[in-house]
Amino acid sequence: MSNKKNEDIEMRPGDGPSGDFGGEKDPFLGAGPRHRRPEPQASAYFDKLDHNPGASILAYCLSSISMTVVNKYVVSGSSWNLNFFYLAVQSVVCTLAILLSRQAGILKNLAPFDSTKAKKWFPISLLLVGMIYTGAKALQFLSVPVYTIFKNLTIIVIAYGEVLWFGGSVTPLTLLSFGLMVLSSVVAAWADIQAAIDGAHSAEASAALATLNAGYAWMGMNVVCTSLYVLGMRKVIKKMNFKDYDTMFYNNLLTIPVLIVCSLLVEDWSSENLARNFPEETRNKLMIGMVYSGLGAIFISYCSAWCIRVTSSTTYSMVGTLNKLPIAISGLIFFDAPITFGSVTAILVGFVSGLVFAWAKVRQKAQETGILPTSNKPTMSASAQSSRDAANS
């Protein structure tokens, strides 16, 4: 991950030219008292909202939860088998949204496309393809709470990868959080298996266990792919000098041809299969969900940068940890995931493990840098922070 400082500049009221004359002195004769032109009410409201920490945290949480729920909705159809196509649509929508935003002047710090940088970044994009595809497959077979809990295991692999490749360290408090993460995953798997076999006939139980086993296998591959992607990006991003949205732009643009080719080669494009994947009664909702998922990546990245800018990287990390609880609960609400003592216990233990891990990192950073944990100074760019969040959410 990039260790460069966050390059977002916080604009405060009064930073621009003041008054109606751009700072000129009053004329010597015939000038009455000069009055400041009243600021438009809407502009003042949005400026206040832009500097509101609570609004940024709420927006970040809602964007993250909605993205997970929409992804689960799209891939949860009983006949769904077009994951490469779905991910290609995500990348196309996200890339077009970024280009249109730059054309409209909304994204002013997006650098022009550089083929040399694209060649260096392409291996990272391939790792991203592996990460998002295995994540979509795991989410297809597992419930949202179980998927969220098992995603915590990625943190353990990344932490020890940083120890091996970047000279990181693991504190006793961090080890405690790792133990809680493993425990929550074991409890979640046990609760999932018990819910699948309780009260079911042998054939139904066997089919349910086969589905869970497939989900756990895809989840294991996702943990490996996600860890390689995050660690590889940390190694390469320092050399690329990427600013906010550059990482997202290159990731989505470079994955489009890979995902389209994979979809054409691997997936069934017959009219019968398309009809099964897009049944008439839900076709429009699925298409809207696919488009939103592409825009959702923009929303998460923007809200991540916004949250870091008006709060701190420490607050952002803690919010990301706390956000896993409502994500897990959303799966219980929207997708009828089994609510049992084991599933609730697994969610709570996973939530506590995330809190312990976040606090361990705060203490470790405070000891290493000699700054207070409440410092408002970000330690990495918003693009790197949002990429790490996307990998671990």
User: 273 falls in which pLDDT band (50, 70, 90)?
Assistant: very high
Q: In this structure, how many other beta carbons lie within 10 angstroms of the beta carbon of residue 364?
A: 17
- Choice among 186-190, 237-241, 289-293 with the minimum mean pLDDT: 237-241
Percent of the chain with pLDDT over 70: 78
Say if residue 116's pLDDT is above 50: yes
155 Cβ contact list (under 8 Å, min separation 6): 178, 181, 357, 392
Rounded Cα distance between 199 and 298, Å, is 44
Residue 10 three-state SS:
coil
Domain ranges of the chain: 55-392
Closest CA to 248 of 106, 97, 69, 108: 97
- Res 2 pLDDT > 50: no
Q: How confident is the model at residue 217, as a pLDDT?
A: 93
**Do 388 and 230 form a contact (C-beta atoms < 8 A)?**
yes
pLDDT of residue 247: 81
Residue 393 has pLDDT above 60, yes or no: no
The mean per-residue pLDDT over the stretch 89-106 comes to: 88
pLDDT grade for 313, boundaries at 50, 70 and 90: low
CB 385 within 8 A of CB 313: yes
* Residue 49: both structure tokens together: 């909202």
Segment 96-110 mean pLDDT: 83
Q: Is the pTM of this model over 0.75?
A: no
Confidence at residue 7, expressed as pLDDT on a 0 to 100 scale: 34
Q: Cα dist. 56→179, 271, 309, 315 in Å?
A: 32, 44, 9, 11
Would you place residue 134 in the very low, low, confident or very high pLDDT band (cuts 50, 70, 90)?
Answer: very high
pLDDT band for 75, please (50, 70, 90 cuts). confident
Q: Which of 77 and 243 is assigned the larger pLDDT?
A: 77
Name 30's Cβ contacts closer than 8 Å, sequence gap at least 6. none
Contact 244, 5 (CB under 8 A): no
Tens of pLDDT, residues 206-238: 877 888 888 899 999 999 998 898 888 877 877
Mean pLDDT (the chain) is 76
Q: Decide which of 61 and 334 is more confident.
A: 61
pLDDT tier, 261 (very low <50, low <70, confident <90, very high otherwise): very high
Q: Is the pLDDT of residue 292 over 50?
A: yes
Of 26-35, 70-79, 141-150, 226-235, which gets the smallest average pLDDT?
Answer: 26-35
Which pair of tokens denotes residue 110?
């997006």
- pLDDT on residue 314: 61
Q: Is the pLDDT of residue 49 over 50?
A: yes
Predicted local distance difference test score (pLDDT) of residue 196: 72
| Chain centre to alpha carbon of residue 133 | 15
DSSP symbol at 37: P
